[in-house]
Chain A
Amino acid sequence: MNREELIDALRPIIAPYTANDDAFGSLSEDTDFIHDLQINSANLVDIVLDIEEKFDIVIDNPDMERMLNVKAAIDIIESKLQMK
């Protein structure tokens, strides 16, 4: 999967937690989960679990802590997929 495809794969995972539809419509690598999408920070835990399930990877706590935007999420997913 390239980075565009990864963003497409993230969309349905993020959608249920998103409070800002406009920001979600223009989702890009620069999109910040909390500031732009207004996702409740507690729900980042659920997003991580959904990503783990979707890509069959494990995201450890340090990675999770820096996964605050789409770019970081994609970086982490890419690196985990490469390690598989």
Chain B
Amino acid sequence: MTRVVITGLGVVAPNGVGVPAFSTAIKNGLSGIMHDPLLERLQFSCQIAGTPAISEDLKRQYFTDLELRGFNSTGILYGVIAGMQAWADAELPIDASSEPDWDSGTVFGSGTSGIDKFRESIYKVDDLQTRRLGSTVVAQTMNSGVSAYLGGKLGLGNQVTTNSSACATGTEAILMAYDRIRSGRAKRMVAGSTGDSGPYIWAGFDALRVCSSQYNEHPQQGARPMSATAGGFVPGSGAGALLLEDLESALSRGVKIYAELLGGQVNSGGQRGMGSMTAPNSDAVQRCIIDALKNAGISAMDIDAINGHLTATAKDALEIENWTKALERNGKNFPYINSLKGLIGHCLSAAGSIESVATVLQLYEGFLFGNSNCNDLHPDIAALIDPLKVPLKTTYLRPNIVAKASFGFGDVNACLIFKKFNN
């Protein structure tokens, strides 16, 4: 069967836009969490957040002046930039007068697209101004807005779609794209996901009291995955993108190969047992990990490191327990594990793709980034695994295989197995 490799990366993260800046940031523990004056004004309990910095100049590199008229969708902005970065990184051409590229497509997930544009439109509609909405409200607010914009800019002629599975969205998108290439129906897929910024996307989580509220004066300490003093996640936003390619196509083009995607799995706990809309069914989580190993054709002992979901809520210890059971490894025998959310917060629908970009960079550059704000490892976690398996500083350990998992509302799970590329 076709092997699937990664030949391009793109990322728009709170702590770095573009692969070089992001790579530097995660290796050096640079936080993207800042105080958010709007959240303070709106009296959120969590007044810190991770929002990528996008200059007007950068916008104009990816969007025409016409597209930017009345443009108000951060999710599409981030997703298009990340997707086009991955395409360019893979040295693929853009020719506005060419035929569609029938062999290339995209699965680009989102939680909701263009919530600020949606809000703007709702105010106009209620003010009896529907006829004055302009022509782009549909494209900016439809869930598939991001894949639709990308499809046009890149001339994609294969499948162009958007998936949505809460915080597992990005990880699921990558597996969907993998399946399409694996089954021979596409040669290249832009796989990724995006997440809007701002109070209207984050409010529901603040209302659930699952966000970090004790660090408003110390934003960079607010995101504390696996820490004894973790008190909820910091909301984040951005986009990540991977150019997945049929190995033969990548070799014939002679481009760099970042890593190989061996396989993965998505499943659901059916909201049965301990599972619910908001809580995971541990049996399903473990089964997802075990099946991902099986699909990738590796054993649990082959895993050198895990990039966890690990949001900094009370569920972190349960996630670690699920890993120990699924891999049948604990204590000193447990793989290294890290969470990017200590640096960028929880980017929700974008989390899986941004964190997968970090995972692939770890394999390509031979490092494991350190866990931020985790000097006080949670005792329930220390009881399961050797604290040395939760590195606090970046180490250059040259991992060979890294597992990446994401879990989302609706009791949905996704797990990917990435491997350093050796032909």
A interface residues with partner B (beta carbon < 8 Å) = 16-17, 42-43, 45-46, 49
Contact = CB atoms under 8 A, between A and B. Distances in A.
Contacts of A16: 65-66, 69
B135 interface: yes
Nearest to A17: B66
Contacts of A43: 66, 135
B65 A46 contact: no
Query: Which 6 pairs from chain A and chain B are nearest by CB?
Result: A42-B135, A45-B135, A16-B66, A46-B135, A46-B134, A43-B135
B132 interface: yes
A43 B66 CA distance: 10
A16 B70 CA distance: 13
B374 to A, nearest CB: 50
Interface string B107-146: 0000000000000000000000000101110000000000
B137 to A, nearest CB: 10
15 contacts: A16-B65, A16-B66, A16-B69, A17-B66, A42-B135, A42-B136, A43-B66, A43-B135, A45-B134, A45-B135, A46-B69, A46-B134, A46-B135, A49-B132, A49-B134
B84 to A, nearest CB: 20
Given A43-B135, A45-B135, 6 more contacts: A16-B66, A42-B135, A46-B134, A46-B135, A49-B132, A49-B134
Nearest to A43: B135
Contacts of B136: 42
A50 B212 CA distance: 45
A7 to B, nearest CB: 21
A40 B377 CA distance: 57
Contacts of A49: 132, 134
Nearest to A42: B135
A68 B134 CA distance: 17
B68 to A, nearest CB: 10
A41 B136 CA distance: 12
Contacts of A17: 66
A14 B155 CA distance: 26
A6 B42 CA distance: 47
A50 B299 CA distance: 63
A49 B65 CA distance: 18
A67 B134 CA distance: 16
B214 to A, nearest CB: 47
Nearest to B134: A46
A79 B340 CA distance: 63
Contacts of B135: 42-43, 45-46
Contacts of B134: 45-46, 49
Contacts of A45: 134-135
Nearest to A52: B132
A27 B218 CA distance: 59
B63 to A, nearest CB: 13
A39 B65 CA distance: 15
A42 B139 CA distance: 11
B60 to A, nearest CB: 14
A43 B134 CA distance: 8
A17 B66 CA distance: 7
Contacts of A46: 69, 134-135
A17 B135 CA distance: 12
B140 to A, nearest CB: 12
Interface string B134-164: 1110000000000000000000000000000
Interface string B45-74: 000000000000000000001100100000
Interface in B14-59: none
Contacts of B132: 49
A16 B69 CA distance: 9
Nearest to A44: B135
A34 B69 CA distance: 20
A46 B66 CA distance: 11
A49 B130 CA distance: 12
Nearest to A59: B131
A45 B130 CA distance: 12
A46 B132 CA distance: 8
A49 B134 CA distance: 7
A45 B135 CA distance: 6
A43 B132 CA distance: 13
A73 to B, nearest CB: 17
Contacts of B65: 16
